[in-house]
Amino acid sequence: MKKKLLSAIFLASSVATMAQIPFPVKIDTSWSAKTIWMPKSPLKQQVIFVGGVDTVQTTATYGNAAGSTVAKQWHDFIGFTPETDPAKIATGDLGWVIVNHEMVEKNDKVGDGGGMTTFKLRRVTGNVMEIVPQTLTDGRSGKFFNVDFVNTVGETGMNCGGISADNGRIWTAEEWMQNSNTQIAGGVRDTSDFVIGTTTPAGFPGFNGKTLKKYQNLNWMVEIDTKTGKAIRKQYNWGRAGYEGGVLMNDNKTVYLFEDGTPGLLIKFVANTAGDFTSGQLFAHKADAADKWIPIENNLDTLVNLRTVAFKRGATMYTRLEWGAVNKTNGKIYITETGNDNPGSAFKSGLGATGTIANHLIVAYKNRYQIVNGTSFPGTDAAASDSVRNGAFKDYYGRVLELDPTTGVVRTFFEGGPYHTASASQGVNSYPNVHFSNPDGLNFAYIKGKTYMIMQEDLNGRTWNRMPAEYQAGAQTICESYLLDMDIANPTYSDLMRITACSPGAEITGGIAIDSRTMLFNVQHPDGANTFPYNNSLTYAISGWDGITTAVEEYFKSKNNSLFTAYPNPVANELTLNKVSDIAIYDMTGKRVKVYRDVQVVNVTDLTPGAYLIMNAEGERVKIIVE
């Protein structure tokens, strides 16, 4: 990476803040300028599974014979079961990948409701990924296989997040709480009652023979076998809630579950026997209780109405918990709390009436109050708590939480942001380089002895500065994925490093490091305006991380240089300037092609390879070569 200084080209730089240079439409390009190479990223990106395009092998259902059809869309969670057979590992086999489809639709072959697709992944020379052809135990042969829910445990709803345990066990979750059969009728043809234990594999110990309304058989965690493409059981004893994600701890007994709701629950389950999750004790988090957890009895009526029961008993109320992961380096659990623009009366009436306001929300509310108003919150913590309960906390950025499993204490690990002052007398000087809002996917990567958090945004909207003014005339949000070096003490959003932005309008999700070389991501519900295949939900791999860490560190270090210069970020195809500037980009015919104002990071992804000149407001210029 070249880091030569520019030959400083005069012109006083002490110009007024509102200054703006109309960059000439055309310039002479033959002056000499320092050259910066934009290297091709050492990371290799490869699309591996496209919804609506790739064919899945199906089981016999609704009287249709086993066969094939196109896969469902709306990819969300990615689960991974590692290959353990040394002979297979030697040939490059990595393991089984399973993808959630966060949608509900009637489908004659895949089955109604939500869905999942499983496949086996192999990595060959040059970090090229291949799908391994398989023949499953039920006789299906092919590359991609759908998971049969209808004929095994009953339909699911929107398969969103889940648990991908280190030992390869997988549970899928459905966030959208269903409250009536009418509500699901559009996506589930059979709304007759469901009797537990009448399907194969048979039901659940203790609850067999019990009858549920069809909608009540949704919103349970479901265990899946990635190798056979089969659903194993609905985890009735973990309760019915709008779960989005969860983790299985190292003891192979303790499970934590995160609910996407306002209010949302934090749930714990402890199995009696390691590895057997059909019996044990369920708890809901109550941060102000002495032992932090309130027990929930293993009674189907209670479990069906878990939300009502838990909040009535004063459970702590979260604002939309999403994904979580265990940091194996310190044993703590990190959970995304995506936030809610308009909590309204959710904490005050209905289920919220008896729930407990989370302490970290009080802290976050006071923090926002101070920044936005310029003065600290005038009342007591109890008054701040009342404000949160009354819907005063517009939690439009969200945060990452840290749960210490040894104490049950939850604190904010870092807040989304930045917030800006509300005063009309202070316009924001520039759109921040890093603006972190509405975190959703979260996982950890361990690369060359270091621990990184992988996070993905899922923007709830474009207001509150979540998208810069330039993009407001379009209809799209652009979500990004970030890495955080876990060695950084007391990190903030500004320590985040952008690794990938996904198709406009889409949600990037599912990020998981399957080993130190490869991460998998999903792109979900992209905007119709994207070009194929990026107009589909898809799963892609980014490989070569083992070769990138030096560049990552270098990138972090280079940020604080004080002279005008630019650094390429090989990871994200962007150029970082030494300071916030107005810049114009010219092609080598001298034609102006881009003008970016008040930027420090310049995205060059839509420049076709070739040479360009970048000029700043002071007339200083560098030449960049995009490879």
| Interface positions, 321-360, toward another protein (CB under 8 A) | 340-342
Residues 226-245 that bind another protein (CB under 8 A): 242, 244
What x-and-dash track marks residues 80-119 binding another protein by CB under 8 A?
------------------------x---------------
For another protein, the closer CB: 127 or 503: 503
| Intra-chain end-to-end CA distance of the chain, in Å | 14
What x-and-dash track marks residues 532-561 binding another protein by CB under 8 A?
xx-x--------------------------
Name the minimum Å distance from CB 429 to another protein.
7
Name the minimum Å distance from CB 124 to another protein.
18
For residue 337, count other CB atoms closer than 10 A to its CB. Answer: 31
Q: Does 580 bind another protein (CB under 8 A)?
A: no
Stretch that binds another protein, among 232-240, 491-499, 526-534, 561-569 (CB under 8 A): 526-534
How big is the site for another protein, counted in residues (CB under 8 A)? 90
- Say how far apart CA 374 and CA 189 lie, in whole Å: 56
Radius of gyration for the alpha carbons in the chain, expressed in angstroms and rounded: 26
Which of 19, 25, 35 shows the shortest CA–CA distance to 565?
35
Q: Does 476 bind another protein (CB under 8 A)?
A: yes
Q: Does 472 bind another protein (CB under 8 A)?
A: yes
- Say how far apart CA 173 and CA 264 lie, in whole Å: 14
Instruction: Tell me the angle at which helices 381-389 and 359-373 cross, rounded to the nearest 10 degrees.
Output: 90
Stretch that binds another protein, among 206-214, 247-255, 309-317, 594-602 (CB under 8 A): 594-602
Which of 543, 536, 444, 512 shows the shortest CA–CA distance to 98?
512
Of residues 2, 4, 31, 84, which one binds another protein by CB under 8 A? 31
Q: Does 463 bind another protein (CB under 8 A)?
A: yes
Question: Strand, helix or coil at 554?
Answer: helix
β pairing state of 115-124 and 144-146:
antiparallel
Q: Are 114 and 196 in contact (CB under 8 A)?
A: no
Q: Does 419 bind another protein (CB under 8 A)?
A: yes
Q: Does 464 bind another protein (CB under 8 A)?
A: yes
- Say how far apart CA 510 and CA 455 lie, in whole Å: 9
- Say how far apart CA 185 and CA 487 lie, in whole Å: 49
Q: Does 60 bind another protein (CB under 8 A)?
A: no
Of residues 474, 491, 544, 547, which one binds another protein by CB under 8 A? 474
Q: Are 243 and 219 in contact (CB under 8 A)?
A: yes
Cis omega (within 30 of 0) on the bond before 533?
A: yes
* Cα-based angle 236, 237, 240 (whole degrees, multiple of 5): 55
Q: Are 217 and 174 in contact (CB under 8 A)?
A: no
For another protein, the closer CB: 206 or 474: 474
Stretch that binds another protein, among 27-35, 208-216, 288-296, 513-521 (CB under 8 A): 27-35
Q: Does 7 bind another protein (CB under 8 A)?
A: no
Stretch that binds another protein, among 123-131, 298-306, 439-447, 456-464 (CB under 8 A): 456-464
For another protein, the closer CB: 562 or 605: 605
Q: Are 245 and 161 in contact (CB under 8 A)?
A: yes
Name the minimum Å distance from CB 550 to another protein.
27
Q: What is the identity of the amino acid at 266?
A: L
Of residues 296, 478, 548, 566, which one binds another protein by CB under 8 A? 478
Q: Are 587 and 604 in contact (CB under 8 A)?
A: no
Q: Are 222 and 257 in contact (CB under 8 A)?
A: no
Residues 141-200 that bind another protein (CB under 8 A): 175-177, 183-184, 186-187
Q: Does 394 bind another protein (CB under 8 A)?
A: yes
Q: Does 27 bind another protein (CB under 8 A)?
A: yes
Q: Does 422 bind another protein (CB under 8 A)?
A: yes
Of residues 87, 473, 489, 563, which one binds another protein by CB under 8 A? 473
Q: Does 70 bind another protein (CB under 8 A)?
A: yes
- Say how far apart CA 500 and CA 397 lie, in whole Å: 19
Which of 480, 461, 481 shows the shortest CA–CA distance to 472?
461
Q: Are 81 and 96 in contact (CB under 8 A)?
A: yes
Residue whose tokens read 């009366």 = 345
Of residues 48, 289, 372, 625, which one binds another protein by CB under 8 A? 372
For another protein, the closer CB: 198 or 345: 345
For another protein, the closer CB: 284 or 501: 501
Burial of 28 (0-12, 13-18, 19+ CB in 10 A): exposed
Residues 256-275 that bind another protein (CB under 8 A): 260-262
Of residues 2, 4, 8, 24, which one binds another protein by CB under 8 A? 24
Name the minimum Å distance from CB 46 to another protein.
15
Name the minimum Å distance from CB 317 to another protein.
15
Q: Does 529 bind another protein (CB under 8 A)?
A: yes
- Say how far apart CA 89 and CA 67 lie, in whole Å: 30
41: enclosing H helix or E strand: none
Q: Which two tokens stand for residue 291?
A: 């032992």
Of residues 375, 490, 531, 560, which one binds another protein by CB under 8 A? 531
Residues 425-444 that bind another protein (CB under 8 A): 425-431
Stretch that binds another protein, among 87-95, 222-230, 354-362, 460-468 (CB under 8 A): 460-468
Q: Does 471 bind another protein (CB under 8 A)?
A: yes
Q: Does 37 bind another protein (CB under 8 A)?
A: no
- Say how far apart CA 197 and CA 192 lie, in whole Å: 15
Name the minimum Å distance from CB 113 to another protein.
11
